[in-house]
Amino acid sequence: MLPAGTEIHPEDTMLEENAERIMLDPTSRENLKFKDLVKVLIDWINSELEEDRIIVKDLEEDCYDGQVLQKLFEQLSGRKLNVAEVTQSEIGQKQKLQTVLEAVNEQLRPHGWSVEWTVDSIHSKNIVAIVYLLVALAMHFQAPIRLPEHVSVQVVVVKKQEGVLHTAVVTKELTSTTEDAFDTLLDHAPDKLNVVKTFADGVYLILLMGLLEDYFVPLYNFFLTPENFEQKVHNVAFAFELMQDGGLKKPKARPEDVVNLNLKSTLRVLYNLFTNYKNTE
């Protein structure tokens, strides 16, 4: 009843009562959309961890011990985890994974994310669990990537009940429609976005930061009535500096993008502002 080419290794049958193991169907591993999703995730991780000089080539081999996941979560969340930097023992790796996944789950669960991964599934190099986790992180932290839409795979589920192994083939959806919420807003409510354009010269962004942080921004620090492109870029760059001084991560948008009326970039800046200060109320 198993898909052709599926192999159940001895370690996959050595399960405790009611325990289960999930394996990716070999045909799904070769699915072009799945391979594209894996490549997008690898490129994203490498971009995020470039300053740490970490290069990921294989999700299963590079993510199972918790090291990459720790660095990625710290980079995305701005939160430092209290874990050993490098550990070779299985016990140490699982302890590290436990700490990392607890932090991840604490971040994601309040926002409705379903936890489809465990310490054992990640450490056993379960590619489906690893991809589930990375997709959730990418979407939650609004990674500047476009995930392939409607990626689903078939997995073989082996479960032990009353001493007997039961197998089943299940379809798992890794991504649904990943159309960017900002794209949707731009497509369906363009008339409501004129207000966003008022932030293009940076003045309102600067004044908004002063209101949020409860301080007065001296007028000599920026151009209250900017007259050219360079002065507007100066204002937006200065607003980004104020955001970082307030504890926000450096915006991924460039000041020039905001000045050039790139609405998606401006929306991302405003959204990050809103969510940050909403969470600190």
Which tens digits make up the pLDDT trace of 156-215?
A: 888 888 778 888 888 888 886 544 555 655 555 566 567 677 889 999 999 999 998 889
pLDDT at 252: 74
**CATH superfamily assigned to domain 10-176:** Calponin-like domain (1.10.418.10)
The C-alpha angle 96, 152, 39, rounded to 5 degrees, equals: 60
Contact between 19 and 47 (Cβ < 8 Å): no
Mean pLDDT taken over the chain: 83
Q: Is the pLDDT of residue 63 over 50?
A: yes
Give dist(CA 59, CA 65) in Å, integer. 11
Q: Tell me what the mean pLDDT of segment 214-240 comes to.
A: 93
Give dist(CA 278, CA 34) in Å, integer. 36
Which tens digits make up the pLDDT trace of 78-93?
A: 889 988 777 788 899 9
Contact between 32 and 169 (Cβ < 8 Å): no
pLDDT at 74: 93
How many C-beta atoms surround the C-beta of residue 222 within 10 A? 22
Contact between 268 and 275 (Cβ < 8 Å): no
| CATH number among 1.10.580.10, 1.10.418.10, 3.40.50.360, 3.40.50.150, domain 189-278 | 1.10.418.10
Give dist(CA 206, CA 202) in Å, integer. 6
Strand 151-161 and strand 164-175: pairing? Answer: antiparallel
How many C-beta atoms surround the C-beta of residue 242 within 10 A? 20
160: part of which helix (H) or strand (E)?
strand 151-161
The residue that leads in pLDDT, 158 or 57, is: 57
* Helix, strand or coil, per DSSP, at residue 245: helix
Give dist(CA 80, CA 70) in Å, integer. 9
Q: Is the pLDDT of residue 13 over 60?
A: no
Contact between 14 and 33 (Cβ < 8 Å): no
How far are the Cα atoms of 58, 79, 276 from residue 63, in angstroms, in the given order?
A: 8, 19, 28
Q: Would 10-176 and 189-278 be classified into the same CATH topology?
A: yes
- Domain map (residue ranges) of the chain: 10-176, 189-278
